[in-house]
Amino acid sequence: MITVAAVGDVHLDEEMRGRYRRRLGGLAGDADVLLLAGDLTKHGTVEEARVVAEEFRGLPVPVVAVLGNHDYQSDAPDAVAEVLRAEGVTVLEGEGTVVDCPGGRLGVAGAKGFAMGFPGRCASEFGEPEMKSFVRHSREAAEGLRRALKPLEADAVVALTHYSPVEDTLAGEPPEIFAFLGSYLLAEAIDASDVDLAVHGHAHRGTECGTTPGGVRVRNVALPVLGRPYGVYGIG
């Protein structure tokens, strides 16, 4: 059994400093690893990234993260990732990592993902260059996840994204904005590999539980959805 703790959308900045960390006291007993599903910062500044790094520094379990759209807001996602990595957080974008846990090896494939929509109500690479680049970014993001999943050799595999791979976990959000909350290409990538769990954030008003068309469990771990410091999922 491998136990995964996961949370997204903590949106930390100076005024949130310490608020989240004081909820992490029980982490060692709860889980083997902590996954962060993006939107770690409010505006994606280096200063906010430092708050995040300090909030998650020196925890008793490894921390693996992807960035979210807020972490891109200041056009410095690489700098944000660098600050987190300096404090020992593994930041993934289109790549995977394997964490040795007492119950076995956990593979984590991470990508931010992107919007675009779901079958039948989905944007396509057509028309204006802005539209094409929007959809192209979504395709590349999903391709990154697929690329990250492929070579993972582990006893259990988790797909970690910020945007949602499915509509199930968006229930509660206005349906009109579903297309901005995720992309079915992420689910397709997940279903193309042997994945045990997919976690994402981004949809604050969504619901926790869903599945991909291929039957992989999807969990929306956005902090407002959870109402608790993190979700804990036992695999195997």
Binding site for another protein (CB under 8 A): 3, 10-11, 15-16, 19-20, 23, 26, 30, 42-43, 70, 73, 196-197, 204-205, 217, 223-224, 226-235
**Shortest CB 42 distance to another protein, Å:** 5
- Cβ distance to another protein smaller for residue 94 or 223: 223
Q: How far is the CB of 170 from another protein (least distance, A)?
A: 12
In sequence order, the β-bridge partners of residue 97 are 108
Instruction: Name the minimum Å distance from CB 229 to another protein.
Output: 5
Task: Please identify, using beta-carbon distances, which residue of 68 and 94 lies nearer to another protein.
Answer: 68
Q: Which C-beta is closer to another protein: that of 94 or that of 233?
A: 233
Q: Do the beta carbons of residue 191 and residue 218 sit within 8 Å?
A: no
Q: Which tokens in the block code for residue 97?
A: 């990592």
**Residue 106: CB minimum distance to another protein, A:** 13
Shortest Cβ 1–another protein spacing (Å): 8
Alpha-carbon distance of 72 to 92, in angstroms, equals 14
Please say which residue, 35 or 94, places its beta carbon nearer to another protein: 35
Q: Which is nearer to another protein, 127 or 234 (by Cβ)? A: 234
Instruction: Show contacts of 45-51: CB within 8 Å, 24+ apart.
Output: 45/74, 45/76, 45/80, 46/74, 46/76, 46/79, 46/80, 46/83, 47/13, 47/14, 48/12, 48/13, 48/14, 48/80, 49/79, 49/80, 49/83, 49/84, 50/83, 51/12, 51/13, 51/14, 51/16, 51/17
Beta strand 2-7 with 231-235 is antiparallel
